[in-house]
């Protein structure tokens, strides 16, 4: 394969970002077809992609178009399974935005289909594995200089969320990033996870519980404390601090100039994920394209996506049980061992 001719399924917020990215900044790939259940949405996507882009409202038709040899899935999480399975069936490489699926049951179907086909075709969009800051933290931890990691403290804060954002989405849509990136960062696996609910922010006007505190223990005994807080009202604030035996590795928000003005010292905080991780998405999609052209996958595999969904299921269970819940994966199949 010399070039990826991509059908992108789901022309919403990140779908349109990825269309623009692939057409203008990614080598070896172009969007040849776009699909959205709403024709208007697909048309908007096609406008960004440029003249000649085919428009579909049925993902099966888009994926099975003979001019298409690769697929990007940017529908909401609960609708990833259909197009991902269709791409596997067609034998075409597929990049699925995170999460691979909203439930472990859906993730299992994808993993089983990929194994049955005997070819690695699925990459999951956990872009933090491509973020310069997270990569530097991993290098520092892997150097061994600071000793073994013992505690991780994270915040995943957002200015606000849409009205249809639910309590479970704090796990399946938001904490899912930490669920994937932290075990990768410290070379470990989740063992048990717990979600506890502090008092809810009075700005929340529906049934959403926000903030939430997630306490997650790895098999190696590392404890992570994660604050998910999606109505913080002051910006997109992602922090990660790893406490090791001989030192602390801290990844704060990327720095902006510090301003001294009117008796105050201040530093800007990024508005949203688009800007905070913009470089990571570029690196991630280019890496997917480079791998797919060689018949390979990079980044997070379908198995990683499935394990993240198993962990998310356990955390969602703990949202109601209030107690720690076990993360049971049954072990990595040989097909996915690196
Ligand atoms: N990696 C990241 O940081 C990041 C950032 C934002 C979103 N995401 C992920 O990307 C996905 C999309 O998020 P979004 O914010 O762009 O959502 P969105 O709601 O803005 O867009 C989704 C689009 O998919 C379309 N759609 C739904 N079902 C479809 C189907 N069966 N076939 C074709 N089109 C369909 C909708 O009409 C909509 O236009 C989610 O999984 C989300 O978690 C990831
Ligand atoms: O879909 C978005 C995206 O994945 C962001 O990176 C995350 O911070 C948000 O919580 C989520 O809603």
191-230 per-position pLDDT tens digit: 999 999 999 999 999 999 999 999 999 999 999 999 999 9
Distance CA 96, CA 309 (A): 14
Locate tokens 């506890």: which residue?
A: 196
Give the predicted TM-score (pTM) of the model.
0.98
Residue whose CA lies nearest to ligand 2 atom number 7? 174
- Give the residues across from 157 on adjacent strands: 229, 237
Task: Report the pLDDT value the prediction gives residue 255, as an integer from 0 to 100.
Answer: 80
Long-range contacts of 290-295 (CB under 8 A, 24+ apart): 290/28, 291/123, 292/1, 292/4, 292/70, 292/93, 292/95, 292/123, 293/1, 293/2, 293/3, 293/4, 293/28, 295/1, 295/93, 295/119
CA of 200 to the centre of ligand 2 (A): 20
Q: Which atom of ligand 2 is nearest to the CA of 276?
A: 6
Percent of the chain with pLDDT over 70: 100
Residues written for the chain: 338
State if residue 36 touches ligand 1 by the CB under 6 angstroms criterion: yes
What is the 66 CA–ligand 2 centroid distance (Å)? 33
The complex's ipTM works out to: 0.99
Q: Determine the Cα–Cα distance for residues 52 and 70; give it in Å rounded to an integer.
A: 17
Q: How far is the C-alpha of 120 from the C-alpha of 116, rounded, in Å?
A: 10
- pLDDT of 240-296, one tens digit each? 999 999 999 999 888 899 999 999 999 999 999 998 999 999 999 999 999 999 999
Section 150-174 average pLDDT: 98
Is the CB of residue 177 below 6 angstroms from any atom belonging to ligand 1? no
What's the gap in Å between 148 CA and the centre of ligand 1?
Answer: 38
pLDDT (0 to 100) of residue 192: 98
Q: Which residue has the tokens 């933290």?
A: 137
Nearest protein Cα to ligand 1, atom 33? 36
For ligand 2, atom 9, the nearest C-alpha belongs to 174
For residue 146, report the distance from its CA to the centre of ligand 2, in Å.
31
Give the helix/strand (H/E) hosting 72: strand 70-73
pLDDT, position 302: 98
Tokens in use for 39?
């024709």
Residues 6+ apart with CB under 8 A from 314: 192, 193, 325, 326, 327
Question: pLDDT band for position 173 (50/70/90)?
Answer: very high
Within 118-217, residue ranges assigned H as helices are 132-142, 169, 176-186
| Contact between 260 and 267 (Cβ < 8 Å) | no
Q: What is the pLDDT of residue 1?
A: 80
Query: Averaged over 82-107, what is the pLDDT?
Result: 98
- Report the distance separating Cα 168 and Cα 121, nearest Å: 29
Pick the residue whose CA is nearest to atom 14 on ligand 1: 13
Using alpha carbons only, what angle is made at residue 90 by residues 86 and 92, rounded to the nearest 5 degrees?
Answer: 100
Instruction: Please report which confidence band the pLDDT of residue 41 belongs to, taking 50, 70 and 90 as the band edges.
Output: very high
Instruction: List, in sequence order, every residue forming a beta bridge with 228; answer none if it has no partner.
Output: 156, 212
Quote the pLDDT of residue 168.
Answer: 98
């Amino acid at each position: 394969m010399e070039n990826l001719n991509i059908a992108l399924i789901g022309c919403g917020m990140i779908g349109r970002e990825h269309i623009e990215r692939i057409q203008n900044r990614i080598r070896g790939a172009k969007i040849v077809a776009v699909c959205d259940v709403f024709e208007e949405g697909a048309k908007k996507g096609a406008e960004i992609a440029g003249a000649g882009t085919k428009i579909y409202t049925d993902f099966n038709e888009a994926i099975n178009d003979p001019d298409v040899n690769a697929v990007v899935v940017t529908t909401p999480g609960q609708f990833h399974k259909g197009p991902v399975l269709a791409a596997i069936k067609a034998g075409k490489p597929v990049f699925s935005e995170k999460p691979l699926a909203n439930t472990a049951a859906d993730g299992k179907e994808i993993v089983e289909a990929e194994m049955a086909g005997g070819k690695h075709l699925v990459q999951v969009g956990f872009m933090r594995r491509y973020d310069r800051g997270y990569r530097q933290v991993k290098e520092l931890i892997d150097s061994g200089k600071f000793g073994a990691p013992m505690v991780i403290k994270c915040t995943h804060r957002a200015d606000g969320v849409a009205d249809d954002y639910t309590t479970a989405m704090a796990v399946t849509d938001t904490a899912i990033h930490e669920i994937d990136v932290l075990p990768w960062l410290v070379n470990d696996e989740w063992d048990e996870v717990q979600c506890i609910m502090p008092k809810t922010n009075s700005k929340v006007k529906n049934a959403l519980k926000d903030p939430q505190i997630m306490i997650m223990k790895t098999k190696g005994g590392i404890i992570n404390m994660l604050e998910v807080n999606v109505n913080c009202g002051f910006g997109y604030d992602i922090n990660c601090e790893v406490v090791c035996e001989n030192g602390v590795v801290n990844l704060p928000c990327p720095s902006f100039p510090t301003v001294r003005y009117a008796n105050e010292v201040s530093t800007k905080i990024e508005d949203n994920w688009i800007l905070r991780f913009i470089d990571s998405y570029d690196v991630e999609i280019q890496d997917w394209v480079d791998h797919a052209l060689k018949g390979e996958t990079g980044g997070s595999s379908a198995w990683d996506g499935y394990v993240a969904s198993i962990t998310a299921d356990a955390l969602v269970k703990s949202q109601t049980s209030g107690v720690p819940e076990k993360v049971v994966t049954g072990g990595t199949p040989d097909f996915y061992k690196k």
